[in-house]
Amino acid sequence: MMAAKTVRRKAPVDVAWPSLPFIEWQETCETLHMWTQIVGKVRLAQAPMINHWWQTPLYISSRGLTTSAMPYDERAFQIDFDFIDHELCINTSDGATHSFPLRPQSVADFYQEFMAALRSLGIEVNINTRPVEIENPIPFDQDHEHAAYDPEQAHHFWLALTQADRVFQQFRSRFIGKCSPVHFFWGGFDLAVTRFSGRRAPEHSSVPNTPDFIVREAYSHEVSSAGFWPGSAAAPVPVFYSYAYPEPEGFGGWRAQPDEAYYSPEMKEFILPYEVVRRAKEPDRTLIHFLQSVYEAAADLGKWDRAALERSTAP
């Protein structure tokens, strides 16, 4: 009988709630955003349609981001971003595997290497090479502009996602109505969890740089949604956010917690800077207060049946 083997790695600095200044990792962030869109579009192409496009996101894993298992004919395969050893790994249900290092290279080169890796495993997938939810999109196979990858910065981003995912899972457990898993949406490059009232919503008008048919399916029912977003060139601050659709009357005037949280009329959502949570004496408690207080704004002002949708006591 083979003896069990335990391998322990030296813990990286700032494991709990790492610093994540957007300006310092903007180039890596923008490149990684495109890489995750390429992988995410393979999941979109292969997974059966689920309400609100829930078949498309990635998920937080113990080493990075994962597609989870996807069907391919009678086989299954899975794609993982490993932000510890910094590899892109593809594994199939018949035991085949292929990996290549995550390193500075253009989106176009990543796209070609990734598609070649799939073909080496007998997997042929066609995707739309036009990025979504960004301004001035460059087709993946033509994008030589984004080519940065800093391993430490990517690792810190994943650590931040891991912390947010852990607290979002705790928040999700308090709700017994329809609620999404905690998803990493590669289009917006954000982590999100969404609660539903159970009622249909009015047809959503539009979201910039996103086809209307996608938006209508995503917002077909009333929601209270919250998430974590690392920032962008236009808004270079990582934040937690929470919003309601449709937004009930008086929502923007609600007093969210903690005091540093504020409502953005432009974004139609409440914002809590990531740094407020990271520097708090009790980060988990601070974030839970934010999530719960904005949910209560949506649920109370929107007249949700909270008695039927929430746990009366912790499980």
- Residues with Cβ within 8 Å of 79's Cβ and at least 6 positions away in sequence, in order, are 39, 42, 43, 66, 67, 70, 88, 89, 90
Residue 57 lies in a domain: yes
Per-residue CA distances from 131 to 25, 34, 112, 128, 211 (Å)? 20, 7, 15, 8, 12
pLDDT digits (tens, 9 = 90+) for 31-70: 999 999 999 999 999 999 999 999 999 999 999 999 999 9
Comparing 207-211, 275-279, 299-303, the range with the smallest average pLDDT is 207-211
Do 255 and 157 lie in a common domain? Answer: yes
Structural domains of the chain, count: 2
Same domain, 286 and 159: yes
CA-to-CA dists, residue 219 to 4, 54, 186, 198, 308, angstroms? 48, 12, 17, 12, 22
Average pLDDT over residues 194-205: 92
Q: Which of 95, 54, 49 is nearest to 75 (CA)?
A: 95
121, 142, 163 - which closes a domain = 142
Whether 112 shows a pLDDT value over 70: the answer reads yes
| 185, 224: one domain | yes
230 and 111 within one domain: no
Residue 121: give the domain boundaries.
22-142
Task: Note whether 104 and 230 are same-domain residues.
Answer: no
| Shared domain check, 261 and 124 | no
Per-residue pLDDT band at 207 (split at 50, 70, 90):
confident
* 14, part of any domain: no
pLDDT (0 to 100) of residue 299: 98
In a shared domain, residues 103 and 250: no
* In a domain? residue 212: yes
Residue 7 in this model has a pLDDT that exceeds 60: no
Instruction: State the pLDDT confidence band at 11, using cuts at 50, 70 and 90.
Output: very low
- Which range, of 98-112, 214-228, 297-311, averages the lowest pLDDT? 214-228
Whether 117 is covered by a domain: the verdict is yes
Tokens representing 34? 């495109």
pTM of the shown model: 0.93
**Average pLDDT estimate for 275-279:** 98
Name, in order, each residue with C-beta under 8 angstroms of 287's C-beta and a sequence gap of 6 or more: 164, 167, 240, 272, 277
Place of tokens 């995750």: 36
**Average pLDDT for the chain:** 94
Span 198-203, average pLDDT: 92
Q: How far is CA 38 from the centre of its chain?
A: 15
Whether residue 190 lies inside any domain: the answer is: yes
- Would the pLDDT of 216 be above 90? no
**Among all chains, which residue has been given the structure tokens 């995410």?**
40
Confidence of residue 203 (pLDDT cuts 50, 70, 90): confident
Q: So what's the pLDDT on residue 219?
A: 84
Same domain, 169 and 62: no
From 103, 123, 142, give the residue that closes a domain. Answer: 142
Contact between 183 and 65 under an 8 Å Cβ cutoff? The reply is no
